[in-house]
Chain A
Amino acid sequence: MPITVSYLTQLSPSTLAVINESSGQYGAPAGIWFLGGYVYLATGRYLYQFNPANLSAVFLYSGSSTVYFEDVTYNGTYLYATLSNNTLVKIDPTDMSIVSVSTGTTFSVIIYNGKNLIAALTNGDVAFVDQNTLDIISSVPVTTNSPKSMTVSSLRYGVSWAFKS
Chain B
Amino acid sequence: MKRKTGGGGLIIGLSTSNMMSVGLAGISGFPPSSIPNYVYLTDSSGVLYQLDPTTLKTIKTLQLASTTVAFTTDGTYLYASSGNTLYKIDQLKLSIVASMGVNAASNQSGLTYNGKYIYIGRQGTGGDSIDIIDPETMTVIFSATPLGYNWGLTYDGNYIYGGLGGPA
User: Hey, which bits of chain A sit against chain B, CB under 8 A?
Assistant: 1-13, 15-19, 21-39, 41, 43-46, 48-53, 56-59, 61, 76, 93-95, 109, 111-116, 118, 120, 124, 126-128, 138-140, 142-143, 145-163
Which of A5, A15, A147 counts the most chain B CB atoms within 10 A?
A5
Return A125 CB to nearest CB of chain B, in Å: 9
In the complex, besides A113-B24, A155-B72, 13 extra interface pairs with C-beta distance below 8 angstroms are A6-B151, A11-B146, A11-B160, A15-B144, A32-B161, A32-B163, A57-B14, A61-B6, A95-B16, A127-B56, A148-B68, A150-B42, A161-B151
**Contact pick for B162, options A11, A38, A128, A143, CB 8 Å:** A11
Interface residues of B in 41-68 (CB under 8 A from A): 41-45, 47, 49, 51, 53, 55-58, 67-68
Residues of A close to B12: CB separation below 8 A: 23, 56-57
CB pair A158–B112 under 8 Å, yes or no, is yes
Residues of B close to A24: CB separation below 8 A: 5, 8-11
Residues of A close to B36: CB separation below 8 A: 153
In the A-B complex, the 7 residue pairs with the smallest Cβ-Cβ separation, listed nearest first, are: A158-B112, A24-B9, A6-B165, A29-B163, A156-B26, A32-B152, A16-B144
CB pair A12–B159 under 8 Å, yes or no, is yes
Given contacts A31-B152, A56-B12, contact A154 B67 (CB under 8 A): no
In the complex, residue of chain B having the shortest beta-carbon distance to the beta carbon of A25: B9
Return B32 CB to nearest CB of chain A, in Å: 9
CB pair A37–B20 under 8 Å, yes or no, is yes
**Chain A CB within 8 A of B75 CB:** yes
CA distance A149 to B37 in the complex (A): 16
Given contacts A9-B162, A13-B155, contact A161 B113 (CB under 8 A): no
